[in-house]
Every structure is written in C-alpha cells, then in structure tokens.
Amino acid sequence: MVGKAQTPRIGVLALQGDVREHETMLRDLGADVTRVRRPADLDSVDGLIVPGGESSVIDKLSRIFDLREPLRTAIDTGLPVYGTCAGLILLADTIVDGITGQQSFGGLDITVRRNAFGGQVESFETELTVIGFGDPPVHATFIRAPIVETVGPRARALAALSDGRVVAVEQGNLLGTSFHPEMNGEPRFHKLLLAKVQERAVR
C-alpha cells in the first residue's frame, strides 16, 4: 500500500462503463492504475473509481463476479472511493427509482434518483462552483445523470445546480458526482481522491 513517497495504486472498477477515461486522468496525475474485476484485485489498490455506465448492469455484474460484498467491506473499512454518475448511484445508501432488485454498494448517506434528467438527448453541460475548488468553476457534463434528492447528516454537498439540486457530495473516504469530469479533462475531483488516499496512508 501507498506510503508517503510511494506512487498510489488506484483501481478502476472495470465491469462496464467509461473505464479508459478515468485511467487516462489518473495516469496523467501520476497514479499507478489497475482494473478491478475480481475480489483479489481490490487487495492491491489504495483507492478506487466506480465509473459511469449503467448502474443496474454494474450492480448485477458485481454480484456475478462476487465483488459486491468485498466492495462493501472495502468502503466500510475506509478505502477512498470516487463514483461518477452510475458510480454515484452505486455508492448511495438509497436509490428511489432503481429497477426491480437493484442494489447499491452504499456508504454515502444520500438518496439518489436515477436518470433524473431524462434520456441521452437531455444531456447537457454547465459550469459549477464546487466547495474547496475555487476558480475556475468546474465545467460539468451530465449524461443520463442522477440527482441527489436528500443529503443525510453524515454527508455534505459540494456542488449544486442553479436550482439547488445537489450534484456532488463527499463523506469521509467517499466522493461522488452526478457528472463526468473525466470527459472534460477536469482533474480536481481525481486529485481530491488522491489526497484522500495520501491522508489515509499517513494516519
């Protein structure tokens, strides 16, 4: 595992979704990157990305590959994890409109609604002010994105749309966004994940 002077090893959950974009972003930031498909793959990583894609498909595949419970354990024991779009859904404790039988990994004290903005044709981009990031604002791309309907007392909102709907949250070792910073070359959320990895290493 990572020490003060070692290169962090970050896993990208590679069951389905936009894996390569996250890999590129992490490598550009100096991280060692590996794909996570099996429980044993989790043992070698210092942090994890749960990418965008189809949350219900990732959920089903995680159970097929016996990854769901190891992922839940890793989250509970402090592994830094960042989820984008579908990844945010999978990190939420509650999904209000999941398909029949859909489960999440949990960890974030939030309630999310899948596809809150409609289908692919309703995708959009906007500028967001994010707590702790300063200027410039984050250029955010929303694609069939979820919305955070409620933020529980253990989590905190980092960013919201102009109408107040929350689209980025943080809770301890966990981070989630409704949008895809990896598609716009926006590195600050990935840097925040790496900071959480380093913070955990020096405790």
Residue 29, Ramachandran bin (φ over 0: left; ψ between -120 and 50: alpha; else beta): alpha
Tell me if 17 sits within 8 A of 51, measured CB to CB.
yes
CA–CA gap between residue 122 and residue 117 (Å, rounded): 6
CB neighbours of 166 closer than 8 A, spacing ≥ 6? 110, 147, 148, 151, 157, 159, 160
Strand ranges for the chain from DSSP E? 9-13, 32-36, 47-50, 81-84, 92-95, 108-113, 124-128, 138-142, 147-151, 156-160, 166-171, 174-177
| Active-site choice (23, 54, 85, 186) | 85
Q: Which of 108, 82, 114, 78 is nearest to 93 (CA)?
A: 108
Is 54 annotated as catalytic? no
Is 22 annotated as catalytic? no
Q: Which of 150, 200, 147, 154 is nearest to 177 (CA)?
A: 147
| Active-site choice (21, 22, 170, 180) | 180
| Active-site choice (22, 182, 186, 190) | 182
Phi, psi dihedral angles at 125 (to 5 degrees):
-125, 150
Name the residues annotated as catalytic: 85, 180, 182
